[in-house]
Amino acid sequence: MRVTHTVAAVALAAIAVWNARVGWELQPSQPEEALGNFLGSALLLACSAALAWHGSARPQARRDPRRRPDPH
């Protein structure tokens, strides 16, 4: 599951960077749309960071080697 979270986080970050670049190109001609692109990029980066953190923050369940399985 960690790999899935990481891939999704990287994809969101790439989309955010591309969106910010498009916003930077639009800045002189259409400032309102550029601002929307920058805010959207910030939101995507925040989601990307949260997704990456969520994927890495969950501890893996480990079985105690001293514990014996149930005999039934």
In a domain, 62, yes or no: no
Alpha-carbon distance 63 to 65, whole Å?
6
Query: What pLDDT, on the 0 to 100 scale, is given for residue 63?
Result: 63
Residues spanned by the domain of 31: 2-56
pLDDT at residue 43 is higher than 80: yes
In a domain, 72, yes or no: no
In a domain, 70, yes or no: no
Alpha-carbon distance 20 to 34, whole Å?
8
For 13, half-sphere exposure in the C-beta direction (CA atoms, 13 angstrom radius) is 11
Per the structure, the count of domains in the chain is: 1
Query: What pLDDT, on the 0 to 100 scale, is given for residue 17?
Result: 84
pLDDT above 70 as % of the chain: 72
pTM above 0.95, yes or no: no
